[in-house]
Chains A and B, each alone.
Chain A
Protein backbone atom coordinates (compact mmCIF):
# COMPACT_ATOMS: atom_id res chain seq x y z
CA UNK A 1 0.00 0.00 0.00
CA UNK A 2 1.41 3.43 -0.92
CA UNK A 3 2.12 5.83 1.98
CA UNK A 4 0.04 8.52 0.37
CA UNK A 5 -3.04 7.93 -1.72
CA UNK A 6 -2.98 11.52 -2.96
CA UNK A 7 -0.02 13.85 -3.39
CA UNK A 8 -0.61 17.30 -4.77
CA UNK A 9 2.12 19.86 -5.30
CA UNK A 10 2.01 23.42 -6.63
CA UNK A 11 -1.42 22.80 -8.11
CA UNK A 12 -3.06 25.68 -9.91
CA UNK A 13 -6.03 26.05 -12.20
CA UNK A 14 -6.84 29.26 -14.02
CA UNK A 15 -10.02 30.02 -15.92
CA UNK A 16 -8.87 32.91 -18.02
CA UNK A 17 -7.38 35.42 -15.58
CA UNK A 18 -9.20 33.94 -12.59
CA UNK A 19 -7.34 31.52 -10.34
CA UNK A 20 -9.80 28.87 -9.16
CA UNK A 21 -7.00 27.20 -7.16
CA UNK A 22 -3.42 28.30 -6.80
CA UNK A 23 -0.33 26.90 -5.11
CA UNK A 24 -2.20 23.99 -3.54
CA UNK A 25 -0.02 21.44 -1.79
CA UNK A 26 -1.23 18.54 0.30
CA UNK A 27 -0.93 14.83 0.89
CA UNK A 28 -3.60 12.36 1.89
CA UNK A 29 -2.39 9.37 3.84
CA UNK A 30 -3.44 5.96 2.60
CA UNK A 31 -6.11 4.35 4.72
CA UNK A 32 -7.34 7.67 6.06
CA UNK A 33 -10.54 9.64 5.74
CA UNK A 34 -9.78 13.24 4.86
CA UNK A 35 -12.18 16.13 4.49
CA UNK A 36 -11.74 18.96 2.06
CA UNK A 37 -13.66 21.86 3.52
CA UNK A 38 -14.32 25.39 2.45
CA UNK A 39 -17.07 27.82 1.61
CA UNK A 40 -18.66 28.20 -1.81
CA UNK A 41 -16.03 29.12 -4.38
CA UNK A 42 -13.16 28.05 -2.14
CA UNK A 43 -11.88 25.64 -4.80
CA UNK A 44 -13.02 22.25 -3.46
CA UNK A 45 -14.88 21.14 -6.57
CA UNK A 46 -12.06 22.32 -8.83
CA UNK A 47 -9.51 20.43 -6.72
CA UNK A 48 -11.56 17.22 -6.61
CA UNK A 49 -12.28 17.43 -10.36
CA UNK A 50 -8.54 17.66 -11.02
CA UNK A 51 -7.84 14.72 -8.69
CA UNK A 52 -10.41 12.61 -10.57
CA UNK A 53 -8.96 13.59 -13.94
CA UNK A 54 -12.06 15.45 -15.11
CA UNK A 55 -10.27 18.77 -15.19
CA UNK A 56 -6.78 19.49 -16.50
CA UNK A 57 -4.67 21.57 -14.12
CA UNK A 58 -2.88 24.66 -15.41
CA UNK A 59 0.16 23.91 -13.25
CA UNK A 60 1.41 21.42 -10.72
CA UNK A 61 1.61 17.69 -10.15
CA UNK A 62 -1.06 15.27 -9.00
CA UNK A 63 -0.14 11.77 -7.93
CA UNK A 64 -2.95 9.34 -7.19
CA UNK A 65 -2.01 5.97 -5.71
CA UNK A 66 1.61 6.85 -6.60
CA UNK A 67 0.84 7.40 -10.27
CA UNK A 68 0.77 10.64 -12.19
CA UNK A 69 -2.85 11.55 -12.91
CA UNK A 70 -2.04 13.30 -16.16
CA UNK A 71 0.20 10.59 -17.62
CA UNK A 72 -1.24 7.42 -16.08
CA UNK A 73 -4.89 8.40 -15.88
CA UNK A 74 -6.24 5.15 -17.30
CA UNK A 75 -4.27 2.92 -14.98
CA UNK A 76 -5.57 4.93 -12.00
CA UNK A 77 -9.26 5.11 -12.92
CA UNK A 78 -10.11 1.42 -12.29
CA UNK A 79 -9.02 1.94 -8.68
CA UNK A 80 -10.97 5.08 -7.84
CA UNK A 81 -14.62 6.09 -7.83
CA UNK A 82 -16.84 8.92 -6.70
CA UNK A 83 -20.28 9.92 -5.62
CA UNK A 84 -21.87 13.32 -5.70
CA UNK A 85 -25.47 14.40 -5.29
CA UNK A 86 -24.84 16.82 -8.16
CA UNK A 87 -23.89 14.18 -10.72
CA UNK A 88 -26.77 11.85 -11.48
CA UNK A 89 -27.12 8.33 -12.71
CA UNK A 90 -29.38 7.93 -15.76
CA UNK A 91 -32.91 8.51 -14.50
CA UNK A 92 -34.70 6.26 -16.94
CA UNK A 93 -32.71 3.16 -16.08
CA UNK A 94 -33.63 1.08 -13.08
CA UNK A 95 -31.24 0.96 -10.15
CA UNK A 96 -30.19 -2.57 -11.09
CA UNK A 97 -29.61 -1.60 -14.73
CA UNK A 98 -27.46 1.34 -13.69
CA UNK A 99 -25.39 -0.83 -11.38
CA UNK A 100 -25.01 -3.49 -14.08
CA UNK A 101 -23.76 -0.91 -16.58
CA UNK A 102 -21.17 0.39 -14.13
CA UNK A 103 -20.18 -3.15 -13.20
CA UNK A 104 -19.38 -3.63 -16.89
CA UNK A 105 -17.49 -0.35 -17.17
CA UNK A 106 -15.33 -1.37 -14.19
CA UNK A 107 -15.00 -4.95 -15.48
CA UNK A 108 -16.27 -6.44 -12.24
CA UNK A 109 -16.10 -10.21 -12.00
CA UNK A 110 -19.45 -11.72 -10.91
CA UNK A 111 -21.37 -8.45 -11.29
CA UNK A 112 -24.69 -9.90 -10.11
CA UNK A 113 -23.13 -11.05 -6.83
CA UNK A 114 -21.49 -7.68 -6.30
CA UNK A 115 -24.77 -5.85 -6.98
CA UNK A 116 -26.61 -8.14 -4.57
CA UNK A 117 -23.94 -7.58 -1.94
CA UNK A 118 -24.21 -3.79 -2.31
CA UNK A 119 -28.01 -3.95 -2.40
CA UNK A 120 -27.96 -5.77 0.93
CA UNK A 121 -25.37 -3.43 2.39
CA UNK A 122 -27.19 -0.23 1.44
CA UNK A 123 -30.68 -1.64 1.90
CA UNK A 124 -31.59 -0.89 -1.71
CA UNK A 125 -32.78 -4.37 -2.67
CA UNK A 126 -36.43 -3.26 -2.85
CA UNK A 127 -35.33 -0.41 -5.12
CA UNK A 128 -33.43 -2.47 -7.68
CA UNK A 129 -36.37 -2.66 -10.08
CA UNK A 130 -37.33 1.00 -9.74
CA UNK A 131 -36.36 3.74 -12.17
CA UNK A 132 -33.55 5.77 -10.65
CA UNK A 133 -35.36 9.03 -11.43
CA UNK A 134 -38.31 7.97 -9.28
CA UNK A 135 -36.27 7.58 -6.11
CA UNK A 136 -36.33 9.98 -3.20
CA UNK A 137 -33.24 12.10 -2.59
CA UNK A 138 -32.15 9.82 0.26
CA UNK A 139 -32.62 6.68 -1.85
CA UNK A 140 -30.61 8.28 -4.67
CA UNK A 141 -27.78 8.99 -2.25
CA UNK A 142 -27.67 5.34 -1.18
CA UNK A 143 -27.74 4.15 -4.80
CA UNK A 144 -24.97 6.59 -5.70
CA UNK A 145 -22.87 5.21 -2.84
CA UNK A 146 -23.50 1.67 -4.06
CA UNK A 147 -22.30 2.71 -7.54
CA UNK A 148 -19.27 4.42 -6.00
CA UNK A 149 -18.27 1.22 -4.22
CA UNK A 150 -18.99 -1.19 -7.06
CA UNK A 151 -15.31 -1.52 -8.02
CA UNK A 152 -13.95 -1.82 -4.45
CA UNK A 153 -12.14 1.52 -4.95
CA UNK A 154 -8.82 2.08 -3.21
CA UNK A 155 -9.55 5.79 -3.29
CA UNK A 156 -13.06 7.15 -2.99
CA UNK A 157 -14.08 10.75 -3.60
CA UNK A 158 -17.33 11.66 -1.89
CA UNK A 159 -19.18 14.92 -2.23
CA UNK A 160 -21.76 15.31 0.54
CA UNK A 161 -21.94 11.55 1.19
CA UNK A 162 -24.90 11.79 3.56
CA UNK A 163 -26.85 14.53 1.78
CA UNK A 164 -30.62 14.03 2.11
CA UNK A 165 -30.28 11.03 4.40
CA UNK A 166 -32.25 10.81 7.60
CA UNK A 167 -30.07 10.85 10.75
CA UNK A 168 -30.39 7.11 11.27
CA UNK A 169 -29.37 6.20 7.70
CA UNK A 170 -26.66 8.87 7.67
CA UNK A 171 -25.21 7.40 10.85
CA UNK A 172 -25.32 3.95 9.33
CA UNK A 173 -23.57 5.16 6.14
CA UNK A 174 -20.80 6.84 8.15
CA UNK A 175 -20.23 3.64 10.10
CA UNK A 176 -20.15 1.67 6.87
CA UNK A 177 -17.58 4.02 5.33
CA UNK A 178 -15.36 3.66 8.40
CA UNK A 179 -15.65 -0.12 8.20
CA UNK A 180 -14.88 -0.04 4.48
CA UNK A 181 -11.72 2.00 5.01
CA UNK A 182 -10.58 -0.28 7.82
CA UNK A 183 -11.40 -3.48 5.97
CA UNK A 184 -10.07 -2.59 2.50
CA UNK A 185 -7.30 -0.22 3.63
CA UNK A 186 -8.97 2.26 1.33
CA UNK A 187 -8.78 6.05 1.42
CA UNK A 188 -11.64 8.51 1.33
CA UNK A 189 -11.44 12.17 0.41
CA UNK A 190 -14.73 13.86 1.08
CA UNK A 191 -16.29 17.27 0.80
CA UNK A 192 -19.05 17.92 3.27
CA UNK A 193 -20.89 20.80 4.83
CA UNK A 194 -21.94 18.62 7.73
CA UNK A 195 -19.34 19.50 10.34
CA UNK A 196 -20.55 16.87 12.80
CA UNK A 197 -19.88 14.29 10.13
CA UNK A 198 -16.39 15.65 9.54
CA UNK A 199 -15.62 15.60 13.24
CA UNK A 200 -16.77 12.04 13.60
CA UNK A 201 -15.44 10.53 10.37
CA UNK A 202 -12.27 12.31 9.40
CA UNK A 203 -8.69 11.77 10.45
CA UNK A 204 -7.55 14.94 8.70
CA UNK A 205 -9.18 18.13 7.55
CA UNK A 206 -7.91 20.33 4.73
CA UNK A 207 -9.38 23.82 4.93
CA UNK A 208 -9.66 25.78 1.68
CA UNK A 209 -10.31 29.45 1.12
CA UNK A 210 -9.89 31.59 -2.00
CA UNK A 211 -8.40 28.72 -3.98
CA UNK A 212 -5.73 27.72 -1.49
CA UNK A 213 -5.24 25.41 1.49
CA UNK A 214 -5.25 27.69 4.51
CA UNK A 215 -5.06 25.16 7.31
CA UNK A 216 -4.81 21.47 7.93
CA UNK A 217 -4.91 19.08 10.85
CA UNK A 218 -7.05 16.54 12.61
CA UNK A 219 -10.45 17.79 13.84
CA UNK A 220 -9.09 17.67 17.42
CA UNK A 221 -6.01 19.67 16.47
CA UNK A 222 -8.07 22.30 14.67
CA UNK A 223 -10.53 22.60 17.57
CA UNK A 224 -7.63 23.15 19.92
CA UNK A 225 -5.83 25.50 17.57
CA UNK A 226 -8.87 27.74 17.07
CA UNK A 227 -10.10 27.38 20.63
CA UNK A 228 -13.54 26.30 19.49
CA UNK A 229 -16.05 23.76 20.71
CA UNK A 230 -16.99 22.30 17.35
CA UNK A 231 -15.86 22.16 13.74
CA UNK A 232 -18.68 24.41 12.56
CA UNK A 233 -17.18 27.28 14.51
CA UNK A 234 -13.72 26.48 13.16
CA UNK A 235 -15.18 26.38 9.65
CA UNK A 236 -16.78 29.80 10.09
CA UNK A 237 -13.59 31.27 11.50
CA UNK A 238 -11.59 30.09 8.54
CA UNK A 239 -14.20 30.71 5.85
CA UNK A 240 -14.75 34.27 7.06
CA UNK A 241 -11.08 34.83 7.77
CA UNK A 242 -12.05 36.39 11.07
CA UNK A 243 -9.77 34.68 13.56
CA UNK A 244 -6.08 33.98 13.24
CA UNK A 245 -5.00 30.76 14.93
CA UNK A 246 -2.10 32.37 16.76
CA UNK A 247 -4.47 35.00 18.23
CA UNK A 248 -6.93 32.34 19.36
CA UNK A 249 -4.23 30.24 20.90
CA UNK A 250 -3.10 33.25 22.83
Chain B
Protein backbone atom coordinates (compact mmCIF):
# COMPACT_ATOMS: atom_id res chain seq x y z
CA UNK B 1 0.00 0.00 0.00
CA UNK B 2 1.24 3.49 -0.76
CA UNK B 3 1.68 5.02 2.65
CA UNK B 4 1.73 8.51 1.17
CA UNK B 5 -2.06 8.32 1.24
CA UNK B 6 -1.73 8.40 5.02
CA UNK B 7 0.37 11.56 4.95
CA UNK B 8 -1.66 13.82 7.22
CA UNK B 9 -0.38 17.30 7.91
CA UNK B 10 -0.25 16.64 11.66
CA UNK B 11 0.10 13.27 13.30
CA UNK B 12 -0.52 12.77 17.00
CA UNK B 13 1.16 9.40 16.67
CA UNK B 14 4.41 10.97 15.51
CA UNK B 15 4.19 13.62 18.23
CA UNK B 16 3.70 11.00 20.92
CA UNK B 17 6.43 8.90 19.29
CA UNK B 18 8.84 11.71 20.10
CA UNK B 19 7.38 12.13 23.59
CA UNK B 20 7.88 8.41 24.05
CA UNK B 21 11.52 8.76 22.93
CA UNK B 22 12.23 11.28 25.70
CA UNK B 23 10.17 9.36 28.23
CA UNK B 24 12.39 6.34 27.57
CA UNK B 25 15.46 8.53 27.99
CA UNK B 26 14.31 9.83 31.37
CA UNK B 27 12.99 6.48 32.56
CA UNK B 28 16.37 4.93 31.93
CA UNK B 29 18.33 7.55 33.85
CA UNK B 30 17.72 8.26 37.55
CA UNK B 31 20.51 10.90 37.59
CA UNK B 32 18.63 12.89 34.93
CA UNK B 33 15.45 12.87 37.00
CA UNK B 34 17.35 13.85 40.14
CA UNK B 35 19.13 16.64 38.26
CA UNK B 36 15.79 18.02 37.10
CA UNK B 37 14.49 18.25 40.66
CA UNK B 38 17.76 19.13 42.41
CA UNK B 39 18.20 22.83 41.68
CA UNK B 40 14.57 23.94 42.12
CA UNK B 41 14.51 22.14 45.46
CA UNK B 42 17.77 23.71 46.66
CA UNK B 43 16.57 27.15 45.54
CA UNK B 44 13.26 26.74 47.29
CA UNK B 45 14.91 25.66 50.57
CA UNK B 46 17.34 28.63 50.52
CA UNK B 47 14.63 31.17 49.75
CA UNK B 48 12.28 29.53 52.22
CA UNK B 49 14.76 30.23 55.02
CA UNK B 50 15.48 33.72 53.68
CA UNK B 51 11.75 34.37 53.82
CA UNK B 52 11.58 33.11 57.41
CA UNK B 53 14.42 35.46 58.34
CA UNK B 54 12.85 38.45 56.60
CA UNK B 55 9.48 37.76 58.20
CA UNK B 56 10.87 39.18 61.42
CA UNK B 57 12.92 41.94 59.83
CA UNK B 58 10.91 43.26 56.90
CA UNK B 59 7.35 44.49 57.09
CA UNK B 60 7.04 44.20 53.29
CA UNK B 61 7.84 40.47 53.32
CA UNK B 62 5.84 40.00 56.50
CA UNK B 63 2.80 41.41 54.71
CA UNK B 64 3.20 39.03 51.83
CA UNK B 65 4.62 35.85 53.25
CA UNK B 66 5.75 33.49 50.55
CA UNK B 67 6.35 36.15 47.91
CA UNK B 68 10.02 35.27 47.65
CA UNK B 69 9.33 31.53 47.52
CA UNK B 70 6.63 32.15 44.94
CA UNK B 71 9.03 34.20 42.84
CA UNK B 72 11.69 31.50 43.06
CA UNK B 73 9.27 28.73 42.13
CA UNK B 74 7.91 30.66 39.15
CA UNK B 75 11.36 31.72 37.95
CA UNK B 76 12.48 28.07 38.10
CA UNK B 77 9.41 27.13 36.14
CA UNK B 78 10.42 29.54 33.38
CA UNK B 79 13.99 28.23 33.44
CA UNK B 80 12.83 24.58 33.40
CA UNK B 81 10.45 25.25 30.53
CA UNK B 82 13.18 26.79 28.36
CA UNK B 83 15.90 24.33 29.27
CA UNK B 84 13.52 21.35 28.98
CA UNK B 85 12.58 22.45 25.49
CA UNK B 86 16.16 23.14 24.39
CA UNK B 87 17.47 19.90 25.92
CA UNK B 88 15.11 17.81 23.80
CA UNK B 89 16.73 19.17 20.67
CA UNK B 90 20.25 19.04 22.07
CA UNK B 91 19.70 15.36 22.92
CA UNK B 92 19.00 14.70 19.24
CA UNK B 93 22.13 16.58 18.25
CA UNK B 94 24.33 14.87 20.82
CA UNK B 95 23.12 11.47 19.67
CA UNK B 96 23.53 12.45 15.97
CA UNK B 97 19.91 11.48 15.42
CA UNK B 98 18.71 14.50 13.43
CA UNK B 99 19.37 12.76 10.10
CA UNK B 100 17.13 9.83 11.02
CA UNK B 101 14.41 12.13 12.34
CA UNK B 102 14.23 14.37 9.30
CA UNK B 103 14.26 11.48 6.83
CA UNK B 104 11.25 10.10 8.70
CA UNK B 105 7.81 11.65 8.06
CA UNK B 106 8.17 13.76 11.23
CA UNK B 107 7.44 17.39 10.42
CA UNK B 108 9.47 20.16 12.10
CA UNK B 109 6.30 21.53 13.73
CA UNK B 110 5.46 18.09 15.11
CA UNK B 111 8.93 18.00 16.63
CA UNK B 112 8.30 21.45 18.14
CA UNK B 113 4.93 20.38 19.59
CA UNK B 114 6.48 17.23 21.04
CA UNK B 115 9.27 19.30 22.61
CA UNK B 116 6.67 21.58 24.19
CA UNK B 117 4.92 18.57 25.71
CA UNK B 118 8.18 17.08 26.94
CA UNK B 119 9.27 20.43 28.36
CA UNK B 120 5.95 20.67 30.23
CA UNK B 121 6.38 17.15 31.64
CA UNK B 122 10.02 17.75 32.55
CA UNK B 123 9.04 21.02 34.23
CA UNK B 124 6.34 19.37 36.32
CA UNK B 125 8.59 16.45 37.29
CA UNK B 126 11.42 18.83 38.16
CA UNK B 127 9.32 21.28 40.15
CA UNK B 128 6.90 18.95 41.91
CA UNK B 129 9.33 18.01 44.73
CA UNK B 130 10.06 21.69 45.44
CA UNK B 131 6.33 22.51 45.49
CA UNK B 132 5.70 19.66 47.91
CA UNK B 133 8.63 20.63 50.14
CA UNK B 134 7.54 24.30 50.10
CA UNK B 135 4.15 23.20 51.38
CA UNK B 136 5.53 20.77 53.98
CA UNK B 137 8.27 22.98 55.43
CA UNK B 138 7.07 26.52 54.80
CA UNK B 139 3.30 26.02 54.49
CA UNK B 140 3.42 27.69 51.12
CA UNK B 141 1.37 26.54 48.15
CA UNK B 142 1.46 28.53 44.94
CA UNK B 143 -1.97 27.12 44.07
CA UNK B 144 -3.59 28.57 47.16
CA UNK B 145 -3.67 31.89 45.30
CA UNK B 146 -6.26 30.63 42.86
CA UNK B 147 -6.67 30.10 39.16
CA UNK B 148 -5.05 33.45 38.37
CA UNK B 149 -1.65 32.20 39.44
CA UNK B 150 -2.11 29.09 37.28
CA UNK B 151 -2.84 31.34 34.30
CA UNK B 152 0.36 33.31 34.92
CA UNK B 153 2.18 30.04 35.50
CA UNK B 154 1.09 28.85 32.02
CA UNK B 155 2.42 32.06 30.47
CA UNK B 156 5.90 31.27 31.81
CA UNK B 157 5.83 27.86 30.14
CA UNK B 158 4.95 29.48 26.83
CA UNK B 159 7.67 32.11 27.20
CA UNK B 160 10.19 29.30 27.87
CA UNK B 161 9.14 27.61 24.62
CA UNK B 162 9.51 30.80 22.60
CA UNK B 163 13.00 31.38 23.99
CA UNK B 164 13.82 27.67 23.59
CA UNK B 165 12.99 27.85 19.89
CA UNK B 166 15.33 30.81 19.45
CA UNK B 167 18.07 28.99 21.36
CA UNK B 168 17.85 25.76 19.33
CA UNK B 169 17.72 27.84 16.16
CA UNK B 170 21.05 29.38 17.11
CA UNK B 171 22.52 25.99 18.00
CA UNK B 172 21.32 24.63 14.66
CA UNK B 173 22.83 27.63 12.90
CA UNK B 174 26.16 27.83 14.74
CA UNK B 175 26.62 24.23 15.88
CA UNK B 176 27.05 22.64 19.28
CA UNK B 177 29.59 25.31 20.21
CA UNK B 178 26.54 27.46 20.93
CA UNK B 179 24.90 24.92 23.24
CA UNK B 180 25.89 26.80 26.40
CA UNK B 181 23.33 29.39 25.27
CA UNK B 182 20.68 26.89 26.30
CA UNK B 183 21.85 27.22 29.91
CA UNK B 184 22.54 30.92 30.13
CA UNK B 185 20.17 32.65 27.68
CA UNK B 186 17.31 32.84 30.16
CA UNK B 187 19.40 34.68 32.76
CA UNK B 188 19.61 37.72 30.49
CA UNK B 189 15.90 38.08 31.22
CA UNK B 190 16.22 37.82 35.00
CA UNK B 191 17.02 41.48 35.78
CA UNK B 192 14.25 42.82 33.54
CA UNK B 193 11.66 40.22 34.51
CA UNK B 194 11.31 41.90 37.91
CA UNK B 195 11.30 38.55 39.63
CA UNK B 196 12.02 39.80 43.16
CA UNK B 197 11.16 43.51 42.85
CA UNK B 198 8.51 45.60 41.08
CA UNK B 199 9.13 46.82 37.54
CA UNK B 200 8.97 50.39 38.93
CA UNK B 201 12.31 49.71 40.68
CA UNK B 202 14.03 49.68 37.29
CA UNK B 203 15.24 52.88 35.56
CA UNK B 204 12.61 54.37 33.27
CA UNK B 205 14.26 53.25 30.03
CA UNK B 206 14.70 49.71 31.37
CA UNK B 207 11.04 49.57 32.39
CA UNK B 208 10.15 49.87 28.70
CA UNK B 209 12.40 46.89 27.97
CA UNK B 210 10.91 44.97 30.91
CA UNK B 211 7.37 45.39 29.56
CA UNK B 212 8.57 43.67 26.39
CA UNK B 213 9.01 40.42 28.35
CA UNK B 214 6.04 38.24 29.26
CA UNK B 215 7.76 37.40 32.55
CA UNK B 216 7.56 41.01 33.83
CA UNK B 217 3.74 40.89 33.47
CA UNK B 218 3.68 37.50 35.20
CA UNK B 219 5.77 38.52 38.22
CA UNK B 220 3.88 41.81 38.59
CA UNK B 221 0.69 39.79 38.38
CA UNK B 222 1.96 37.35 40.97
CA UNK B 223 2.77 40.17 43.39
CA UNK B 224 -0.62 41.71 42.80
CA UNK B 225 -2.33 38.44 43.69
CA UNK B 226 -0.14 37.70 46.69
CA UNK B 227 0.15 41.18 48.21
CA UNK B 228 -3.15 42.84 47.29
CA UNK B 229 -5.25 39.75 46.62
CA UNK B 230 -6.16 41.21 43.22
CA UNK B 231 -6.00 39.24 40.00
CA UNK B 232 -5.06 41.75 37.33
CA UNK B 233 -6.47 40.65 33.99
CA UNK B 234 -4.65 43.47 32.21
CA UNK B 235 -1.32 41.92 33.21
CA UNK B 236 -2.46 38.48 32.06
CA UNK B 237 -3.60 39.88 28.70
CA UNK B 238 -0.26 41.69 28.39
CA UNK B 239 1.65 38.49 29.13
CA UNK B 240 -0.42 36.54 26.58
CA UNK B 241 0.06 39.21 23.93
CA UNK B 242 3.84 39.44 24.39
CA UNK B 243 4.00 35.64 24.53
CA UNK B 244 2.30 35.47 21.13
CA UNK B 245 4.99 37.78 19.79
CA UNK B 246 7.72 35.60 21.37
CA UNK B 247 6.21 32.41 19.94
CA UNK B 248 5.93 33.96 16.47
CA UNK B 249 9.50 35.27 16.62
CA UNK B 250 10.78 31.93 17.98
CA UNK B 251 8.99 30.07 15.18
CA UNK B 252 10.35 32.43 12.52
CA UNK B 253 13.92 32.17 13.84
CA UNK B 254 13.64 28.37 14.02
CA UNK B 255 12.19 28.20 10.50
CA UNK B 256 15.02 30.42 9.20
CA UNK B 257 17.59 28.27 10.94
CA UNK B 258 16.04 24.98 9.77
CA UNK B 259 15.90 26.29 6.22
CA UNK B 260 19.58 27.25 6.53
CA UNK B 261 20.47 23.83 7.95
CA UNK B 262 18.90 22.18 4.89
CA UNK B 263 20.75 24.60 2.63
CA UNK B 264 24.08 23.86 4.30
CA UNK B 265 23.65 20.13 4.90
CA UNK B 266 23.84 20.41 8.66
CA UNK B 267 21.01 18.00 9.42
CA UNK B 268 23.14 15.00 8.53
CA UNK B 269 26.42 16.21 9.93
CA UNK B 270 25.60 17.68 13.28
CA UNK B 271 26.73 15.84 16.36
CA UNK B 272 29.34 15.67 19.04
Interface residues of A (CB under 8 A from B): 15, 45-46, 49, 52-56, 67, 74-82, 84, 86-94, 97, 100-107, 131, 147, 151
Interfacial chain B residues near A147, Cβ < 8 Å = 100
Interface residues of B (CB under 8 A from A): 2-4, 6-7, 11, 13-14, 16-18, 20-21, 24-25, 28-29, 91-92, 95-97, 99-107, 259, 262-265, 267-268, 271
Contact B268 A45 (CB under 8 A): yes
Report if A92-B95 is in contact (Cβ < 8 Å); known contacts: A101-B17, A107-B14: yes
Give me the 8 closest cross-chain CB pairs, A-B, nearest first: A104-B17, A75-B4, A78-B3, A87-B99, A90-B95, A105-B104, A97-B24, A101-B21
Interfacial chain B residues near A76, Cβ < 8 Å = 4
Across the A-B interface, how many residue pairs have beta carbons closer than 8 Å?
A: 116
Main secondary structure of the interface of B (DSSP, over half): helix
Interfacial chain B residues near A107, Cβ < 8 Å = 3, 6, 11, 13-14, 105
Q: List 12 A-B contacts (CB under 8 A).
A: A55-B265, A55-B268, A56-B259, A77-B104, A77-B105, A81-B103, A90-B92, A90-B95, A94-B28, A101-B20, A105-B17, A107-B11
Report if A54-B103 is in contact (Cβ < 8 Å); known contacts: A92-B29, A107-B11: yes
Contact B103 A80 (CB under 8 A): yes
Return A89 CB to nearest CB of chain B, in Å.
7
Report if A46-B265 is in contact (Cβ < 8 Å); known contacts: A78-B7, A105-B101, A107-B11: yes
Interfacial chain B residues near A77, Cβ < 8 Å = 103-105
Return A110 CB to nearest CB of chain B, in Å.
13
Q: Give Cα A103–Cα B2 distance, bound, in whole angstroms.
A: 17
Contact of B3 among A67, A92, A105, A151 (CB under 8 A): A151
When C-beta atoms are compared, the residue in chain A nearest to B16 turns out to be: A104
When C-beta atoms are compared, the residue in chain A nearest to B99 turns out to be: A87
When C-beta atoms are compared, the residue in chain A nearest to B265 turns out to be: A55
Return B200 CB to nearest CB of chain A, in Å.
48
When C-beta atoms are compared, the residue in chain B nearest to A150 turns out to be: B104
Interface centre among A46, A97, A105, A147 (most CB of B within 10 A): A105
Given A88-B96, A90-B97, A101-B17, 13 more A-B residue pairs with CB atoms under 8 Å apart are A53-B103, A55-B262, A56-B263, A77-B105, A78-B3, A82-B100, A87-B268, A88-B95, A100-B20, A104-B16, A106-B3, A106-B104, A106-B105
Q: Give Cα A104–Cα B105 distance, bound, in whole angstroms.
A: 10
Contact A54 B96 (CB under 8 A): no
Contact B99 A74 (CB under 8 A): no
Return B265 CB to nearest CB of chain A, in Å.
5
Contact B96 A78 (CB under 8 A): no
Contact of A93 among B24, B107, B262 (CB under 8 A): B24
Return B261 CB to nearest CB of chain A, in Å.
9
Interfacial chain A residues near B102, Cβ < 8 Å = 53-54
Q: Give Cα A94–Cα B96 distance, bound, in whole angstroms.
A: 16
Return A88 CB to nearest CB of chain B, in Å.
4
Contact A88 B271 (CB under 8 A): yes
Return A128 CB to nearest CB of chain B, in Å.
13
Contact A89 B7 (CB under 8 A): no
Contact B20 A104 (CB under 8 A): yes
Report if A49-B3 is in contact (Cβ < 8 Å); known contacts: A74-B107, A101-B24: no
Return B104 CB to nearest CB of chain A, in Å.
4
When C-beta atoms are compared, the residue in chain A nearest to B270 turns out to be: A87
Contact A87 B96 (CB under 8 A): yes
Contact B97 A54 (CB under 8 A): no
When C-beta atoms are compared, the residue in chain B nearest to A72 turns out to be: B4
Interfacial chain A residues near B271, Cβ < 8 Å = 88
Interfacial chain A residues near B14, Cβ < 8 Å = 104-105, 107
Report if A54-B4 is in contact (Cβ < 8 Å); known contacts: A97-B24, A104-B14: no
Contact B91 A90 (CB under 8 A): yes
Contact A82 B265 (CB under 8 A): no
Q: Give Cα A189–Cα B243 distance, bound, in whole angstroms.
A: 46
Interface centre among B21, B106, B268 (most CB of A within 10 A): B268
Q: Give Cα A90–Cα B107 distance, bound, in whole angstroms.
A: 19
Return A58 CB to nearest CB of chain B, in Å.
9
Return B243 CB to nearest CB of chain A, in Å.
29
